[in-house]
Amino acid sequence: MDYHANRFHDHSLMIRKGDNLMALFPANQDENMIWSHGGLTYGGLILLPEIRLSDVIYGFQGVLQYYQALGIHELRVKTIPQIYHRQPSDEIDYLMFKLEANRYRCDCLSVVSPTRLKYSRDRKQGIKRGNKNGLKVIEVSDFEEFWSQILIPNLESKHQSRPVHTLDEIRLLKTRFPEQIRQFNVYDSGGIIVAGTTIFDTERVARSQYISGNTEKNNLGSLDLLHDYLLREVFPSKPYFDFGKSNEDEGRTINEGLLYWKEGFGARSVAHDYFSVDPAMHVKLNGVFK
């Protein structure tokens, strides 16, 4: 996370049992509030595979006591969706229940298993258009074409925003994680870029961090062809492909057209929860075990 360390006042914690590290809690501080790190898409506790529930409960109680002693009034915790877990790990959900946490946000990730694809008629027709128009999908090593010609112009015109990562930042991350951060572009028959996606490739999930096409994407079938290629040719054995959320306004509304497009590949919803906790509620973890 150090590439954007200047944006956050880091206040991450290491949780130990005796001399042994058993968990991490990535976090940043903003005045008297702690955020489950604002520089990460997903957050919560990062646990060793052999950790037991009792250690998680006592460890997180220690986290709350530590922050309370510093005068922190609120802890915002975002979870890691189950599809990213290497093994069953819903300890944080039980903790939030016991702490009477407020679930202030819930996003719906659109997720599909590449081993069980079922396309809608619209997606099939889009793929046919892409092939008919002679589009080609190519994995490239640099991000400049996609960032400057597709992604930034689209975000500026539609949402008056810019990508979370600058071009220099995504290039830096690529040098540090060359196998995990991948760029796939779509080119027309004349070699002009018309669409693309930036993939974060993890052990269990391939995630589209950015998806964007030019104004002719629907007529060309560029995004349909691109994702059919990814699902069938690049990640056919990956347990999950994560199209990301279609939510706006902290989960309260959904971009129906975007969701419709993702579900056309057979994607279904996985909840990504955000909780607010008062550190003083650590007393609720007393007496859990009898």
The reply to whether 157 and 83 lie within a common domain is no
The reply to whether 130 and 234 lie within a common domain is yes
The reply to whether 87 and 163 lie within a common domain is no
Looking at the domain assignment, is residue 256 inside a domain?
A: no
Least confident of 68-82, 146-160, 183-197: 146-160
The reply to whether 231 and 278 lie within a common domain is no
How many angstroms separate the CA atoms of 3 and 202, rounded? 19
The reply to whether 90 and 139 lie within a common domain is no
The string of pLDDT tens digits covering residues 164-181 is 899 999 999 999 999 999
How many angstroms separate the CA atoms of 61 and 53, rounded? 12
What is the extent of the structural domain holding 182? 114-238
The string of pLDDT tens digits covering residues 84-117 is 999 999 999 999 999 999 999 999 999 999 998 9
Compute the average pLDDT of residues 21-32: 96
How many angstroms separate the CA atoms of 47 and 60, rounded? 11
- Structural domains counted in the chain: 2
The reply to whether 123 and 214 lie within a common domain is yes
For residue 14, give the CATH number of its domain: 3.40.630.30
Looking at the domain assignment, is residue 70 inside a domain?
A: yes
Distances (CA, A) of 30 to 3, 11, 12, 72, 95: 19, 10, 13, 10, 23
Average pLDDT of the chain? 95
How many angstroms separate the CA atoms of 12 and 29, rounded? 9
**What's the confidence (pLDDT) of residue 5?**
78
**Contacts (Cβ under 8 Å, ≥6 apart) of 288:** 57, 98
**What's the confidence (pLDDT) of residue 71?**
97
The reply to whether 101 and 18 lie within a common domain is yes
Looking at the domain assignment, is residue 251 inside a domain?
A: no
Structure tokens, 227: 């994702």
Which is it for strands 136-140 and 74-78: parallel, antiparallel or unpaired? unpaired
How many angstroms separate the CA atoms of 198 and 204, rounded? 17
The reply to whether 129 and 102 lie within a common domain is no
Percent of the chain with pLDDT over 70: 100
The string of pLDDT tens digits covering residues 198-247 is 999 999 999 999 999 999 999 999 999 999 999 999 999 999 999 999 99
The reply to whether 64 and 100 lie within a common domain is yes
The string of pLDDT tens digits covering residues 57-89 is 999 999 999 999 999 999 999 999 999 999 999
CB 27 within 8 A of CB 17: no
Output the pTM of the full model.
0.92
The reply to whether 121 and 223 lie within a common domain is yes
- Tell me which amino acid residue 272 is: H
Looking at the domain assignment, is residue 267 inside a domain?
A: no
The reply to whether 167 and 208 lie within a common domain is yes
**Contacts (Cβ under 8 Å, ≥6 apart) of 235:** 114, 201, 206, 241
